[in-house]
Structure 1
Amino acid sequence: MTETYRSSTLQAPLALDGGGVLTDVTVAYETYGALAPDRSNAILLCHALTGDQFVASAHPVTGKPGWWERMVGPGRPIDTDRYRVVCANVIGSCMGSTGPASLAPDGEPYAMRFPVITIRDMVRGLVGLLDELGIERLHAVVGGSMGGMQALSLAANWPERAGRVLAIATTARHSAQNIAFHEVGRQAIMADPYWCKGDYYAHEERPGAGLAVARMAAHITYLSEDGLTEKFGRRLQDRTEKTFGFDADFQVESYLRYQGSGFTKRFDANSYLYITRAMDYFDLAEEHGGKLAEAFAGSQARFCLVSFDSDWLYPTAESRHVVHALNAAGAPVSFVELSAPFGHDSFLLDVPALDRVVKGFLE
């Protein structure tokens, strides 16, 4: 990808959980709305696994609308007439922030020399960006899915930095099932003959087939059985009879292939490996002596947890676990399970009840 992104180079090196250090770290970001004179109205939005900084503006690669335009903008639940919204591409990703495709100090892409990172390392990068922007304390940090992990990590490790924490469709640690799905995706990428042990950046061919399969497998986890049945059922794709072959006979097959092939145009395969590994390592209790309540012992923030009844990737029980820990830590917390047919992706789609929760909590 050769696009130029708005970015900031962090002044201080990032010491990583795995023992490595990244220097001259670039964090690409977008902002929306004006910062108040007292700098009290900033909201940090944290993106999910395959997301990026273009939360409310057109994506420069695909041309598609921002991933949360329905939620962010003038007069919307996250109202840019009232708030200064900052959304950054996490380190390890591929939309301008330092990651595997970035040039190492020797002038060659890091590829698999890039250090393995954690969710907390990603948040270190975000906090470094806030320092560069002169934002000492956020009105709120907001995130869904992996973005929710980042929001919880910021609240636990930098408790003075945010007044409100809104974590949607997320978890405090990755389950064995989550890790298993990610491993299928990673193995698909690494089995692609064009992966070349990660050193494919100088090659014309990229590991697109493996990355597409990884995306297809993951995308299934973002949906619900009822949603798939309603949208596709067992309906055939552009035909009236089965072919008795291995083309995409069913609509759901065609849909997954479309999702996979489109994804390869905007995402880097090595970034997918690194980000999924970071999510798998995430365990907020483990970081704080094995007790999740200890993670929030020093927090002064107000919390809101939101789950969806059709989300089987991060089910409601995961949010309740966080809520119980916050209660044990004495932190003010509200919680709601919303009904939606879309599965895990509900936080990105048209769920009016979520709009009301977000707007009300931020106010």
Structure 2
Amino acid sequence: MSLHNPVEQKQSVAKVSIEDFTFESGDTLSKIELAYEHYGPEGAPVILLCHALTGNQYAVGSSENPGWWAGLVGEQCPIDITQYQVITFNVLGGCHGSTGPASINPETGDLYRLDFPEVTIRDMVHAQYRALHQLGYTELHAVAGGSLGGMQTLEWGLLYPDFMRQLFVLAATPYLSDYGIAFNHIGARAIQDDPAFKEGYYSSNDTLHGFEVARMAGMVTYRSAPLFQKRFAREQEDALYSIQSYLNYQGEKIKQRFDANSYLYLLEAMNNHDIRKGRGSLQDTAAAYKPALFTVSFEHDLLYPKELIQPFSHHALNGEHYHVKTDYGHDGFLVEFGEWGAWISDKLNEEGTNY
């Protein structure tokens, strides 16, 4: 890989239109759009970043509005945008510019809502693959993502095994556990059973108290008991404990930045995630990976534990696992980059995988 002199990196934000996209379900839309963010010098190796459940295309963001992986990705960061191009798509089914339930159905002039086709992780990857080709990218140096983004990364390595050299799967397992499905079910029922939901025909997120509860349930699984204890320590604010105020805040916040129908669609995509589908045993599927497969687990991750990630990576022909000691639990992939970012950087620049 050739090194580039550090330059001021400018954010490029746009959309790609894809004609006649067929979903795994067999449904076809005449046109879909994927919104994306791009950074990095033209001609540099390309890394695709895949976002988590309530993420978006703004992995790097800007100095005024840092993205969800700012600090891991940026100038002189572990994923250095003076040396790599990075591109992030808002997933198919999302609500930050890509086509999803909150988009206008051109055939009716109304929102798709729950008439939008069922979306799978494989659908997301197929859409991104077509979008990359339309943008002129014919190969990737790596694909990286955490949680839902890690699920996409796992599918990338199986659907398009010759398209990239490396895969970085953070806080994601080869299939969603029953424990994860259980919490997704709680969240989905909280939304669907809210009278204001109106079977997907709500007028505004603001009325959806069930959406708040869904987010609160999710937040309990994203962080660990030790972290909650250290951060809140049974402190009280007025009539509420600090942890209660925190969860209330998170419930209100999600309604301002995410669509409830899209949330339901992506929960279902996570539930159905299983790389074994149509491919055979877990061991055989793991052995089918051609790119180098680097997996990362985080201490106290209730949803994607080390016990499900590490053995899987060891079945891959070119797999390696790294475990991070942290109190952040599942959300560890979004913080403390100084604790594990150097490992990512080292692997990106390993001899034999560079251009």
TM-score by shorter chain over 0.5: yes
Distance 2:207 2:25 in 1: 27
Separation in structure 1 between the aligned mates of residue 343 and residue 205 of structure 2, nearest angstrom = 45
Question: Hey, what does 1:317 align to over in structure 2?
Answer: 307
CA contact (8 A) 1:100 1:112 kept: yes
What is the rounded CA distance, in whole Å, between the counterparts of 1:235 and 1:184 in structure 2? 27
Count of residues in correspondence between the two structures:
336
Q: Which deviates more from structure 2 when the two are superposed, residues 15-24 or residues 260-269? A: 15-24
Which stretch has the larger CA shift, 270-279 or 189-198?
Answer: 189-198
**Contact kept in structure 2, 1:34 and 1:80, CA below 8 Å:** yes
Shift of 1:285: 1.1
Q: 8 Å contact 1:42–1:85 — kept in the other structure?
A: yes
* 2:197 is the counterpart of 1:195: yes
Partner of 1:195: helix, strand, or coil?
Answer: helix
SS of the equivalent of 1:265 reads helix
Q: 1:360 aligns with which of 343, 346, 349?
A: 346
Counterpart of 2:112, as a letter, is: Y
Shift in Å, 1:346: 0.7
Inter-partner Cα distance in structure 2 for 1:204 and 1:222: 26
Question: Is residue 150 from structure 1 mapped to residue 157 from structure 2 by the alignment?
Answer: no
Matches within 5 A, 1:5-154: 6-11=14-19, 13-36=20-43, 41-58=45-62, 64-104=65-105, 105-154=107-156
Q: Which residue does 1:215 correspond to in 2?
A: 215
Q: What is the alpha-carbon distance in structure 1 between the residues aligned to residue 52 and residue 236 of structure 2?
A: 32
User: Structure 1 residue 304 and structure 2 residue 294: aligned?
Assistant: yes
Match of 1:356, SS state, is helix
Where 1:134 maps in the other structure, the secondary structure is: coil
Over the matched positions of the two proteins, sequence identity in percent amounts to 37
Q: Which residue of 1 aligns with 2:236?
A: 236
Secondary structure of the equivalent of 2:87?
A: strand
Please report how far the alpha carbon of residue 131 of structure 1 lies from its aligned counterpart in structure 2 after TM superposition.
1.0
Superposition TM-score, scaled by structure 2 size: 0.91
The AA in structure 1 aligned to 2:58 is F
Q: CA deviation at 1:231?
A: 0.5
> For structure 1, which runs of at least 5 residues remain unmatched after alignment?
244-248
1:298 deviates by 4.5
Partner-residue secondary structure (3-state), 1:8? strand
Separation of aligned partners in 2, 1:362 and 1:261: 38
- Alpha-carbon shift at residue 358 of structure 1 (Å): 1.2
Shift in Å, 1:22: 2.5
Instruction: Answer with 81-90 or 342-351: which moved more.
Output: 342-351
Shift of 1:19: 2.2
**Bigger mean CA offset, 349-358 vs 276-285:** 349-358
Q: How big is the shift at 1:314?
A: 0.6
CA distance in 2, matches of 1:320, 1:308: 11
Distance 2:217 2:96 in 1: 22
CA distance in 1, matches of 2:293, 2:177: 23
2:71, 2:337 within 8 Å by CA — same for their partners in 1?
no
Of the three residues 298, 319, 324, the one matched with 1:333 is 319
Segments of structure 2 that go 5 or more residues without pairing to the other structure are 1-12, 350-355
- 2:123 alignment partner, SS class: helix
**Aligned residue identity for 2:185:** E
Aligned counterparts of 2:24 and 2:315: Cα–Cα separation in 1: 24
Q: Report the CA distance between 1:306 and its aligned residue.
A: 0.7
Is 2:205–2:260's contact at 8 Å kept on the other side of the alignment?
no
- 3-state SS of 1:25 partner: strand
How far apart, in 1, do the equivalents of 2:179 and 2:204 lie?
Answer: 35
Distance 2:15 2:41 in 1: 18
Q: What residue in structure 2 maps to residue 227 of structure 1?
A: 227
In structure 2, C-alpha distance between the alignment counterparts of 1:176 and 1:205, rounded to whole Å: 28
Does the residue aligned with 1:94 lie in a helix, a strand or coil? coil
Larger strand share, 1 or 2: 2
Cα distance change of structure 1 residues 162 and 112 upon mapping to structure 2, 3 Å threshold: same
* SS of residue matched to 1:194: helix
**Amino acid paired to 2:138:** E
In structure 2, distance between residues paired with 1:348 and 1:263: 17
- Residue 246 of structure 2 corresponds to 255
1:353 CA displacement: 2.5
Conserved in 2, the CA contact under 8 Å of 1:111 and 1:270? yes
